[in-house]
Amino acid sequence: MKIIILRLGHRPQRDQRITTHVGLTARALGAEGMLLASDDSGIGKSINDITERWGGSFYVSRTKSWKSEINKWKNSGGKVLHLTMYGMNFPDVVGEITTDNLMVVVGAEKVPPEIYELADWNVAVGNQPHSEVAALAVVLDRLQTLHGNEPLKTEFAGGELEIVPARAGKEVKSR
Ligand SMILES: C[S@@+](CC[C@H](N)C(=O)[O-])C[C@H]1O[C@@H](n2cnc3c(N)ncnc32)[C@H](O)[C@@H]1O
């Protein structure tokens, strides 16, 4: 299983928090990394800080050309799923979608129209407008569980801290 995220249309003034949440959600639910089509270096820094403390090998790479990233991905045999409320509703296409070498494209502002043609699947998590973070979480969860993986059990090697799940209170141990 290999899933990466491509975040498009990030506006440094408006989207810092939500793009960080896209990355953190991707990391927590088992994606390998996030390509960020922006020169905003703050996002990578805050997500890398989390990875240093909490483990795993999630990466954030900035890219100047989202289109060449998609073409490179497709030329090396990868598939592209674009999250859009205008797409095919996820339950109707989920059976076609692979988790081997899958790039999930997540928009912020209006996405370039070409993306609809470049994607192998334009997928809606319900055909109603909502949030990229919610859409990404549902897709990562459902796709992986369907393929026999439990994303909520992703292991995060290394790091400084580990949570000991508790029915009450907080327990965190140092590694
Ligand atoms: C908050 S929306 C803004 C969309 C923008 N106004 C447009 O027309 O494309 C930002 C991103 O959230 C995701 N999104 C929002 N609702 C969605 C849905 N129902 N299904 C899938 N993705 C969704 C899409 O990736 C979209 O690009």
The boundaries of the domain holding residue 71 are 3-174
Check which CATH number belongs to the domain holding 103 and give it: 3.40.1280.10
Mutate to test the pocket of ligand 1, among 34, 83, 125, 139 (most ligand atoms within 8 A of CB): 83
How many domains is the chain partitioned into structurally? 1
Please indicate, yes or no, whether the overall pTM of this predicted structure exceeds 0.95.
yes
Q: What is the pLDDT of residues 115-142, one digit of tens each?
A: 999 999 999 999 999 999 999 999 999 9
Q: What is the pLDDT of residues 36-70, one digit of tens each?
A: 999 999 999 999 999 999 999 999 999 999 999 99
Where b means 16+ CB within 10 Å and e means fewer, 82-119 reads: bbbbebeebeeeeeebebebbbbbbbbeebeeebeebb
Distance CA 36, CA 78 (A): 18
Listed in sequence order, the residues at least 6 apart from 91 whose beta carbon sits closer than 8 Å to its beta carbon are none
Given a contact cutoff of 8 angstroms between Cβ atoms, the answer to whether 37 and 66 are in contact is: yes
The Å distance, Cα 82 to ligand 1 centre, comes to 10
